[in-house]
C-alpha cells in the first residue's frame, strides 16, 4: 500500500538554506563580526572586547561560541525538521560559519556603516529586544511540568481505538489472487509468497508487512476486509483501485497513546504560542496603534468588527443559555414543591368527621 511519507531535507538543501539565511541576516552578522574578536574593529574603529565561552569553530581567528548555537537554533531550528542531534549541530555550526564569512566580507567592503546598514541594525535591535522580552515573559513561564500536566489530561480523554497489524500481497489479476489464496490455505508461507509475487514495492521485501494501522488510513475496501478478519486469518481476494489484495491480519490491539517525549516539544510549542497570544493581546490593549496605510487600516477595522460581532453573538448565546437554565431550575423547583405537597397530602391522615 502507498502511504504518505515525509522526507527529510538533504544536506545540500540545508546548506542552501544556510547561505540564503546568512545573506538575509547580513546586518546582524556585521554587528556580530565586530563583537567576536578582540583584534577586530567596529565601524567606528573601536576595538571590541573578547567574548567568553567555549568555541566550537574559528573563522579567520574569530571564534564561534557554543552560546551562538542556541541563538542560531532559535532562528532556523524550525526549518531543520527531525534531523538527528549530530547532523543538526553540524548544520547550525555551518550556518554560523557562513554568517561569519559574509560578515567578514561585508567589513572588508566597508558595509558596516551608512543608511542601509543603520536601517538593518535598527531592525535587528528591535528583534533582539523582542526576543529578550519573549524569553522572559513567555518561554520562561512555560515549563515541562505544564506540558506533562496537559499531556496527562489529554491522554485520559483519548478514546480507545483499535488497530490491526497486517500483511498483504498485491497483484493485478483476480485469477492470480485466487491462486495465491489457494496456495496459502494449502500451507504455503504468506511472507514468502509476498516477496515473490507482490506488486507493492514498499512492503514486498518485508513479506508484505504493513505494520499497524487504524481506521481511515487505508482505502475503504482494504480497511473493511482487514478489520473483519481475526488474528491469523487470511482474506479472499479484495479489489481496490490498486489491484487485487490478499490480506493476512497478524495481530489486533488498542492503539497506544503517544509517549510524552515524542510529543513534548509539540505541546510546549502549543503552550508557548497560546501564552504569546495572550501577552501580545495585553500589550496591544495598553498601546496606541495607528495603521496609516488605508488598505491595511480598512482590513484591520473589518477584522475588529467581525470579532466584535462574534463576541456579541457568543455573549448573547451564553446569556440565553443562562436564562434557560434559570427557567429550568424554577420549573424543577415548582415541580418539586408540587410533588412534595402531593406526598404530604397522601401522608396526612384524613380529618375526623364532625360529631352530629
- Strand (E) positions, the chain? 55-59, 62-65, 162-171, 209-213, 238-240, 243-254
Q: How distant, in Å, are the alpha carbons of 5, 8, 23, 206, 238 from that of 219?
A: 16, 26, 46, 21, 11
pLDDT for residue 159: 86
pLDDT for residue 3: 37
Cell reading at 200: 507493492
pLDDT for residue 196: 95
As a whole number of angstroms, the distance between CA 130 and CA 67 comes to: 19
As a whole number of angstroms, the distance between CA 120 and CA 132 comes to: 18
pLDDT for residue 158: 86
pLDDT for residue 250: 96
pLDDT in tens, 138-153: 999 999 999 999 999 9
Cell reading at 157: 480523554
Identify the residue whose cell numbers are 545540500: 12
Segments making up each domain of the chain, as ranges: 11-137, 143-158+263-288, 162-254
pLDDT for residue 331: 79
- Cβ atoms within 10 A of the Cβ of 113, count? 13
As a whole number of angstroms, the distance between CA 245 and CA 184 comes to: 13
**Distant-in-sequence contacts of 301-305, Cβ < 8 A, 24+ apart:** none
Please enumerate in sequence order all residues whose Cβ is within 8 A of that of 63, keeping only pairs 6 or more positions apart, or say none: 36, 37, 51, 55, 57
Q: How distant, in Å, are the alpha carbons of 2, 15, 236, 240, 355 from that of 169?
A: 13, 41, 11, 12, 100
pLDDT for residue 17: 42
Q: Which parts of the chain register pLDDT below 70?
A: 1-50, 336-356
The CATH number for 162-254, chosen from 3.30.413.10, 3.10.50.40, 3.40.50.300, 3.40.50.620, is 3.10.50.40
Amino acid at each position: 500500500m502507498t502511504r504518505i511519507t515525509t522526507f527529510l531535507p538533504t544536506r545540500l538543501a540545508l546548506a542552501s538554506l544556510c547561505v540564503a539565511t546568512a545573506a538575509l541576516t547580513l546586518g546582524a552578522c556585521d554587528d556580530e563580526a565586530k563583537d567576536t574578536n578582540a583584534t577586530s574593529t567596529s565601524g567606528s574603529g573601536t576595538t571590541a572586547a573578547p567574548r567568553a565561552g567555549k568555541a566550537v569553530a574559528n573563522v579567520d581567528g574569530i571564534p564561534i561560541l557554543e552560546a551562538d548555537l542556541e541563538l542560531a537554533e532559535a532562528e532556523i531550528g524550525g526549518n531543520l525538521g527531525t534531523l538527528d542531534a549530530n547532523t543538526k549541530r553540524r548544520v547550525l555550526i555551518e550556518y554560523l560559519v557562513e554568517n561569519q564569512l559574509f560578515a567578514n566580507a561585508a567589513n572588508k567592503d566597508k558595509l558596516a556603516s551608512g543608511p542601509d546598514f543603520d536601517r538593518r541594525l535598527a531592525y535587528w535591535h528591535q528583534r533582539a529586544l523582542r526576543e529578550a522580552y519573549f524569553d522572559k515573559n513567555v518561554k520562561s513561564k512555560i515549563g515541562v511540568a505544564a506540558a506533562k500536566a496537559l499531556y496527562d489530561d489529554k491522554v485520559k480523554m483519548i478514546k480507545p481505538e483499535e488497530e490491526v497489524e497486517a500483511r498483504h500481497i498485491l497483484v493485478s489479476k483476480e485469477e492470480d489472487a485466487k491462486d495465491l489464496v489457494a496456495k496459502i490455505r494449502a500451507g504455503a508461507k504468506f511472507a514468502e509468497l509476498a516477496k515473490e509475487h507482490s506488486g507493492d514495492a514498499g512492503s514486498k521485501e518485508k513479506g508484505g508487512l504493513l505494520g499497524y494501522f487504524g481506521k481511515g488510513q487505508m482505502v475503504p475496501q482494504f480497511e473493511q476486509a482487514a478489520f473483519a478478519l481475526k488474528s491469523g486469518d487470511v482474506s479472499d481476494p479484495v479489489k481496490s483501485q490498486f489491484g487485487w489484495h490478499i490480506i493476512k491480519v497478524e495481530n489486533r490491539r488498542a492503539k497506544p497513546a503517544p509517549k510524552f517525549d515524542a510529543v513534548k516539544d509539540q505541546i510546549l510549542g502549543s503552550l508557548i504560542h497560546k501564552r504569546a497570544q495572550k501577552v501580545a493581546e495585553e500589550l496591544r490593549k495598553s498601546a496606541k496603534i495607528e495603521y496609516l496605510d488605508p488598505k491595511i487600516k480598512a482590513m484591520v477595522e473589518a477584522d475588529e468588527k467581525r470579532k466584535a460581532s462574534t463576541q456579541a453573538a457568543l455573549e448573547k448565546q451564553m446569556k440565553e443559555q443562562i436564562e434557560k437554565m434559570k427557567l429550568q431550575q424554577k420549573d424543577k423547583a415548582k415541580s418539586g414543591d408540587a410533588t412534595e405537597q402531593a406526598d404530604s397530602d397522601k401522608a396526612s391522615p384524613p380529618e375526623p368527621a364532625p360529631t352530629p
